[in-house]
Structure formats: structure tokens, C-alpha cells
Amino acid sequence: MNVLSAMAGINDGEFCKKFTKQNVDIITLGGYNIDLETFKAGLENSVKYRQEFITCPHHLSEDINEQIDIIKEYNPKWKGKIAANMRAVSADSFKAIYKNTQLDIVEINAHCRQEATQDAGAGQALLKNEKLLLEMIDALCENTTFDISVKIRANVEDVDTLKIVESIQSYPVKYLHVDAFNPGIDEADYEIINRIASITDMHIIANNSVTSHERYQKMLDAGASSVSVARAALDGDITHIFQ
Ligand SMILES: Cc1cc2nc3c(=O)[nH]c(=O)nc-3n(C[C@H](O)[C@H](O)[C@H](O)COP(=O)(O)O)c2cc1C
């Protein structure tokens, strides 16, 4: 499958809808800050770093539904799935979307590395707080019927990526979304995808610097089940990648 990966401040319905005509099977909305702590961090990120969605956590579900409507009204024939990427500091925070009936996939963000987000205990900080990450997964399993995706960044200092993957796969998590981040190098770490694929049956969505069909194929050859792109989508045309 072909996936549009989250881009905070960018991936709303208006931006995403065109990719329903570009061979994309999963569109990821957000990331969204779904509780007070991540909301505050999002404000700080917006000032210091880059624009984010400033959606009040109380209206999150309605706002997501509005974005989904924009996509589906633009292309009613599209049969793909909609995911929403979410940053949170507690398992309880996910209550904000328990009653949502339009989302297909909830993606737990254990990936974003902006200082304010990590200081709040969300995003990439969850890779160093496995207990909390697993509580979030557990809460979604217990209280919702969404497919669950967990987005992780590979090659984070002092994090054993393979150990985290082993813990995650003890839950019914459908998608493991891996940013095959390769510190200092402008191409994915295909080897880490290969190593993850050798220890898990979860559906691996892999990304990082996939800008051509050749790199897309390399990711699949490394063992990814699907490939996602983010930055390459900024110019609005990814048909050359997802041919
Ligand atoms: C502007 C921007 C915002 C992003 N926001 C998020 C986010 O909110 N949540 C997330 O999991 N990843 C986020 N990402 C990371 C991307 O989803 C992707 O994992 C990363 O950019 C590597 O893929 P790429 O090389 O295809 O861009 C963002 C990336 C960009 C460029």
C-alpha cells in the first residue's frame, strides 16, 4: 500500500484530497496535539519551529470529521483509509476520539522530536517510556475498534528499536510506521527496516527520503509492507513515486 505520512500544520483535508487521485491508499491527517500538554507544546513549536494544527482537543473529533468530509466529497470513489496521527502524554488523552465514527486508523505518535513535544513527554519521548506507550496502545485496544498504528523513529540514541518493536507487537497493533531515520544521511536506513521485518509480522509502513520510485522499491526490497512519503508530497505530485 501507498501512504501519505503525517505533516503537522499541512496535512488537512484540503492538502490531502488531491492524493486520492495519486494511487495513495492511506492518507494520514495531522499530527494533532490531543491534550492540554501537547497543545501547549504545539503552540511553542509553532512559534519556535514550524506551524502546527492548533485544534482545541475538545473539538478534535469534529475537526477530524470535517477534514475527512473534505477528502470524501472531493473524490467519493476513493476507497482508501484515513488515519490521524496523534501526540499525547497519557492513555486517557485518547478519550478525545473514542466516539469518532469516521476515522479508520489512529496513529500513536512516538516519533516527533521537537523539544517542547518531547519535554511534555510525548512524541519521540515515548520511545524512552515504553510503559506509557504500551498503556496508550492498551487503552485504544480496550475502548475503540480503530485499526492501530504506532509511528516510531529508528536510530534514536539510547533507544533499542528492536526491543520496542517486540513490546509493541504483543498487542493487536496493525501498522508499525517506521521512519528509517539515518542520522546525517539523506537516504533511509534500509538495513533497520530489514532487521525489523525479520522479527515482526506487523504490517510495516516505512519512510524517509523516498523521493523516487527507485527508493520506493528499495524500501519494499528491504522488507517494508508499504511505503509512505511526507516531504516529497509538498510539491503536490507523487505519482512518479507511487507509479
Ligand atoms: C512539516 C512536517 C511535519 C511533520 N509532522 C509530523 C507529525 O505531526 N507526526 C509525525 O508522526 N510525523 C511528522 N512528520 C514526519 C513525516 O511524517 C515523515 O516521517 C518524515 O518527514 C520522513 O519522511 P519523508 O522523508 O518522506 O519526509 C513531519 C514532517 C514534516 C516535513
Closest residue by Cα to atom 14, ligand 1, is: 7
pLDDT confidence of residue 49:
83
pTM recorded for the entire structure: 0.98
* Nearest atom, ligand 1, residue 209 CA: 25
| Residue 113 φ then ψ, to 5° | -115, 10
User: What is the rounded distance in angstroms from the CA atom of residue 205 to the CA atom of residue 64?
Assistant: 22
Pocket perturbation via mutation, ligand 1, pick of 231, 234, 242 by most ligand atoms within 8 A of CB: 231
C-beta separation of 127 from 154 below 8 A: no
pLDDT < 70: residue spans in the chain: none
C-alpha cell recorded at residue 106 = 489512529
Q: DSSP characters for 148-206?
A: EEEEEESS-TT--HHHHHHHHTTS---EEEEE---TT-SS--HHHHHHHHTT--SEEEE
What is the sign of the dihedral through the CA atoms of 225, 68, 74 and 212? negative
pLDDT confidence of residue 129:
98
C-beta separation of 222 from 190 below 8 A: yes
* Alpha carbon of 53 to ligand 1 centroid (Å): 14
pLDDT for 128-159, tens place per residue? 999 999 999 999 999 999 999 999 999 999 99
Q: How many CB atoms lie within 10 A of CB 172?
A: 11
Q: Could you give all domains of the chain from N- to C-terminal order, each with its CATH number?
A: 2-235 (3.20.20.70)
User: What is the rounded distance in angstroms from the CA atom of residue 190 to the CA atom of residue 142?
Assistant: 34
pLDDT confidence of residue 243:
85
- Give the distance, in angstroms, between the CA of residue 126 and the centroid of all CA atoms in the same chain: 14
pLDDT confidence of residue 102:
97
User: What is the rounded distance in angstroms from the CA atom of residue 220 to the CA atom of residue 213?
Assistant: 11
Task: List, chain by chain if needed, residues with CB within 6 Å of any ligand 1 atom.
Answer: 5-8, 10, 30-31, 50, 85, 109, 111-112, 151, 179, 207-210, 229-232
pLDDT confidence of residue 27:
98
pLDDT confidence of residue 74:
98
pLDDT confidence of residue 71:
98
pLDDT confidence of residue 50:
83
- 149: Cβ–Cβ under 8 A, 6 or more apart, which residues? 83, 105, 106, 107, 108, 173, 174, 175, 176, 177, 205
User: What is the rounded distance in angstroms from the CA atom of residue 101 to the CA atom of residue 61?
Assistant: 9
